[in-house]
Amino acid sequence: MALQEAMEACFGFRLDSSYKEKVEHFATCYKNLNLSITTKVHVLVRHVPEFIDKHQMPLGHFCEQVVEQCHAKFDKLFNSYKIKDVHHPNYLSNLFHAIMHFNLYHI
């Protein structure tokens, strides 16, 4: 639960004002397990908050995987609007409507 809260606070698109507290809570919970600190845990606990402080943005804005996921969702939606012939008179109109439809639910 603590890891999930820390991840959601740091890796989304909206900056959670309590991200530091959530990361610290995860760090405390992890240390209480008496496990060795892995590289990934170290990065999450030490460097992710530094990065967010520096850029004042969560990591979702910098992650290529998020962009690819968004692109895949758009492609799926665009299939219902797509006209294969890019020279077709309705191509740009359909593209515009697909973008507007996508943005309505994803921005």
pLDDT at 67: 67
pLDDT at 66: 67
**What mean pLDDT comes out for the span 84-100?**
92
Of 14, 8, 20, the residue nearest 51 (C-alpha): 20
23-82 confidence digits (pLDDT tens) = 999 999 999 999 999 999 999 999 999 999 999 999 988 877 766 788 889 999 999 998
State yes or no: pLDDT of 12 exceeds 70.
yes
- For the entire predicted model, the pTM comes to 0.59
pLDDT greater at residue 96 or residue 105 = 96
Residue 10 burial (C-beta neighbours within 10 Å; 0-12, 13-18, 19+): buried
Lookup: tokens for 72: 């895949």
The rounded distance, in Å, linking the Cα atoms of 84 and 94 is: 11
pLDDT at 34: 93
